[in-house]
Structure 1
Amino acid sequence: MVQLSGVCIIGGGGRVGLPLGIALASRGLTVALYDINRAAVERINAGRLPFAEPGAAEPLAETVAAGRLRATTDPASVAGAEYVIVVVGTPVDEHLNPDLAAVPRALERCVGHLRDGQLIVLRSTVYPGVTALTEKMLAGRGVAADVAFCPERIAEGRAMTELFALPQIVAARTEAAAARAERLFRHLTPKIVRLEPEEAELAKLFTNSWRYIKFAAANQFWMMANDSGLDFARIRDAVAHDYPRAADLPMPGFAAGPCLFKDTMQLAAFNRNNFVLGHSAMLINEGLPLYLVARLEDRFDLAQRSVGILGMAFKAGSDDPRESLAYKLRKILLLKAKATLCTDPYVADERLRPLAEVVERADLLIIAAPHPEYARLRTKKPVIDMWGLTGRGVLV
């Protein structure tokens, strides 16, 4: 029997897999990162991050130099690993149906290199039942491996803190598999929470759907106040002031990114598309750019105005534009405004212009992503700030 050791992460060059690999390697494990993105693999092996993640650059360089972390495009890299961790995107399609085969498909690319005795850890957010589907697929291919579902729980920009600070959910069909997964993640945190696989699959979807619904509530409240000519920021500050039961009421803003909307729709599909709260949240959050433009049309003659969009990432301080509603806002304004100019200090996009140019050329400005740089913005032009970043209220 082949001697197994170390960790291989399938999808290890991405925003979830790479921080996990760095964290495990920094705790002394030998980690291989298998990814089909050759450019990301080359950057990682040169000791450089392919994307921004605070606190990750130094341990990446250190673990690569020490030989504990390497990246590869070779699927055979999974063959000698004791732990094979699957971290791949699990999107919904154009009809908002989940892709049940995303994780099994990733394993299929290297199934010929999998070995008996390995522990396969599913890390991606999955539709309930995908863990069982993976177990069935592996058994059908004659691979006698343990399977565990241990969902990632980090937020982009906080990975190198939260991987060590947050409890780790561990779920497996057998005690032996759960114990192996627990031993692996105890390299990162002593706080382990045990669940059954289907419980853990729902727990992850519940978490992201809850956040999406909470943001939708804040956005709906903002619209109500806004339509009445009242500043939601003043109301929220009063409600939350020394009042713990309202402390988690967010400010309004674009609820976007690659997870919250998608996972809310996965949960809806799981419940036979009977998820009134989730679908209502989608209508509110996805409709926010249209609402914002409608309000602007009430105040300005957009056809005669150049509009500057400040921030194209899906969240503050990020270089990740995936599923950003700032791009949806851009599409609407391309039809409505005289000109639309976009900028972002982090996002790489050839269509973007420097901040100074956008501020100079635009007649009005919209803060679409609350990057901290925009809090210091000084201009006499109208600034639409639904985030409350500039401290001047959020009435539009």
Structure 2
Amino acid sequence: MIEQLIQKIEDREYTVGIIGLGYVGLPLLWTFHKEEMPVIGFDIDEMKTEAITSGTPYIKHLGTEMMQVLSESDHCDATTDFSRLAETDAVLICVPTPLDEKRNPDMEYVEKTCTTIGEQLREGQLVVLESTTYPGTTEDLIIPILESQSGLTAGKDFYLAFSPEREDPGNANFNTSQIPKVVGGHTPEGLQLAKALYDVAIVETVPVSDTKTAEAVKITENVFRAVNIALVNELKLIYHKMGIDVHEVLDAADTKPFGFMKFVPGPGLGGHCIPIDPFYLTWKAREYDQNTRFIELAGEINTAMPRYVIDQTIKALNAHKKPVNGSKILVIGLAYKPDVDDMRESPTFPIMDLLKEYGAEISYYDSHIPVIPPSRDHKEWTGTESIIWSKEALKEFDAVIISTNHSDINYKELAECCDCIIDTRNSMKDYATTPGQVWQA
């Protein structure tokens, strides 16, 4: 059977279903589509499926051309009808894996998705989880659900693999097809089939021994980043007290051609991966009576950074003989990183929440997010609109906090209009016009 399925892949007659059409699923759909694979996108959000059908962009950095091509394609479809999973040969799961209020894994989306897949599962299908999760998820959670719902046996009647997403929204140097894909199979046959599928569309596939190892790879990548970002954030606090510019230190250290990798400090962590994924390992490690001290310390440091930004804001306003209470403060950048419209886990939200507690009048500017959409964790800000950028508008604010350094921001104009700027991204280093105008945070 495997040989026949691989032949279907090579003949481009193998239908790929992708569940979850967000920042991971939509680029993946496009990547397989470009290779002439028939694709069906599934999502519970009708807005997304209708947008693909009509060619309407809903993720800004992916552009309009891609959406137009998908809408006109004869081998791409998008639907909220999950009974059509029966039409697919492979089902790739790209749904959220957030944390609950106790910072434990919230697997609700994965569980519901697997239940739905199990109801439609047929012999020979391949199921691949791409969502980041803890080691052991495929074996301990997904297989029991699929088997109980379908009456089929994993590895015998259908195939399973884990291949973690490695998306970096807005990265102009790497898209989905250019990033090597780690793949772990539940059985050798599952690995063989999943590798053959990804080989069609991805520059390189990296096979590992099993699904648990593949799950650990993604966790390790994000733990590495979280810990190193926490390290430079801590260095920022220390060097600030010493009167040393941490950015100058990091730039100079980065000239060493070996033994150093540059990370940059900021106002906290954002995005769906780095602030969340390491705690999946922390949770799983408890099962083995292991402590994750580096991960938990990194989390404490990174989570505390918005409070540091507020402390610097208080000092900056005090230097201008103004209290936070009643001051009009503009926060620049709602997205968690430059030049995207992704606001998941953005540190800007806790910054605005803290400012509100202190009685400040808060506005924000972000050309990528003109209106704050509904979200799970920041409902009170839903519907708030970005200011319209102008010199007149900027002059109305007592202080400006740069939380995200979008490339379309006119920093020179900002310096001309505002005399109290709290800079968390080192964006104003070449634009300050007067002493005490820019405060590093």
TM-score normalised by the shorter chain: which range applies?
over 0.9
User: For residue 107 of structure 1, what is the aligned residue in structure 2?
Assistant: 114
User: For residue 399 of structure 2, what is the aligned residue in structure 1?
Assistant: 364
User: For residue 314 of structure 2, what is the aligned residue in structure 1?
Assistant: 297
Q: How do 1:329-348 and structure 2 match up within 5 A?
A: 329-347=351-369, 348=371
User: For residue 8 of structure 1, what is the aligned residue in structure 2?
Assistant: 17
- Structure 1 residues 138 and 232, CA gap change in structure 2 (3 angstroms): same
Read off the aligned partner of 2:22 and give its amino acid letter: G
User: For residue 235 of structure 1, what is the aligned residue in structure 2?
Assistant: 249
Q: How do 1:23-42 and structure 2 match up within 5 A?
A: 23-42=31-50
Q: How do 1:82-231 and structure 2 match up within 5 A?
A: 82-132=89-139, 133-141=141-149, 142-143=151-152, 144-158=157-171, 161-195=174-208, 196-231=210-245
Read off the aligned partner of 1:299 and give its amino acid letter: A
Residues 328 and 399, structure 2, Cα contact 8 Å, conserved in 1: yes
SS in 2 for 1:365: strand
Task: Give the Å deviation of 1:395.
Answer: 3.2
Read off the aligned partner of 2:48 and give its amino acid letter: A
- Structure 1 residues 202 and 358, CA gap change in structure 2 (3 angstroms): farther
- Whole-angstrom CA distance in 1 between matches of 2:225 and 2:410: 25
Match of 1:355 among 389, 397, 400: 389
Residues 5 and 80, structure 1, Cα contact 8 Å, conserved in 2: no
Query: Does residue 259 in structure 1 map to residue 280 in structure 2?
Result: no
- Structure 1 residues 189 and 5, CA gap change in structure 2 (3 angstroms): closer
Task: Give the Å deviation of 1:375.
Answer: 5.3
- Whole-angstrom CA distance in 1 between matches of 2:19 and 2:108: 15
SS in 2 for 1:201: helix
Query: Does residue 306 in structure 1 map to residue 319 in structure 2?
Result: no
- Whole-angstrom CA distance in 1 between matches of 2:242 and 2:393: 31
Residues 159 and 190, structure 2, Cα contact 8 Å, conserved in 1: yes
Match of 1:67 among 71, 74, 86: 74
User: For residue 245 of structure 1, what is the aligned residue in structure 2?
Assistant: 259
Residues 51 and 319, structure 1, Cα contact 8 Å, conserved in 2: yes
Task: Give the Å deviation of 1:122.
Answer: 0.8
Residues 310 and 367, structure 1, Cα contact 8 Å, conserved in 2: yes
Read off the aligned partner of 1:323 and give its amino acid letter: E
> TM-score w.r.t. structure 1 length?
0.93
Task: Give the Å deviation of 1:91.
Answer: 1.1
CA deviation profile, 1:73-96 (whole Å, cap 9, x unmatched): 001121011111111001111001
Query: Does residue 282 in structure 1 map to residue 317 in structure 2?
Result: no
Read off the aligned partner of 1:35 and give its amino acid letter: D
Task: Give the Å deviation of 1:137.
Answer: 2.1
Residues 214 and 249, structure 1, Cα contact 8 Å, conserved in 2: yes
SS in 1 for 2:368: coil
CA deviation profile, 1:123-148 (whole Å, cap 9, x unmatched): 11122221112122222231331111
Task: Give the Å deviation of 1:305.
Answer: 2.6
Residues 388 and 394, structure 1, Cα contact 8 Å, conserved in 2: no
Residues 100 and 127, structure 1, Cα contact 8 Å, conserved in 2: no
- Whole-angstrom CA distance in 2 between matches of 1:291 and 1:104: 38
Structure 1 residues 208-217 or 298-307, which shifts more?
A: 298-307
- Whole-angstrom CA distance in 2 between matches of 1:247 and 1:170: 26
SS in 1 for 2:363: strand
- Whole-angstrom CA distance in 2 between matches of 1:47 and 1:160: 25
- Whole-angstrom CA distance in 1 between matches of 2:309 and 2:138: 41
Residues 114 and 145, structure 2, Cα contact 8 Å, conserved in 1: no
- Whole-angstrom CA distance in 1 between matches of 2:411 and 2:313: 23
- Structure 1 residues 394 and 23, CA gap change in structure 2 (3 angstroms): farther
- Whole-angstrom CA distance in 1 between matches of 2:205 and 2:102: 36
- Whole-angstrom CA distance in 1 between matches of 2:257 and 2:440: 23
Task: Give the Å deviation of 1:341.
Answer: 1.5
- Structure 1 residues 104 and 395, CA gap change in structure 2 (3 angstroms): closer
User: For residue 385 of structure 1, what is the aligned residue in structure 2?
Assistant: 423
- Structure 1 residues 27 and 85, CA gap change in structure 2 (3 angstroms): same
Read off the aligned partner of 1:86 and give its amino acid letter: I
Read off the aligned partner of 1:297 and give its amino acid letter: I
Q: What is the RMSD computed on CA atoms of the aligned residues?
A: 2.3
Read off the aligned partner of 1:24 and give its amino acid letter: F
Residues 138 and 145, structure 1, Cα contact 8 Å, conserved in 2: no
SS in 2 for 1:372: coil
Task: List runs of 5+ in structure 1 lacking aligned partners.
Answer: none
Query: Does residue 323 in structure 1 map to residue 357 in structure 2?
Result: no
SS in 1 for 2:225: helix
SS in 2 for 1:53: helix
Task: Give the Å deviation of 1:394.
Answer: 6.7
- Whole-angstrom CA distance in 1 between matches of 2:172 and 2:38: 19
Task: Give the Å deviation of 1:216.
Answer: 0.9
- Whole-angstrom CA distance in 1 between matches of 2:59 and 2:226: 25
Residues 232 and 394, structure 1, Cα contact 8 Å, conserved in 2: no
Read off the aligned partner of 1:282 and give its amino acid letter: G
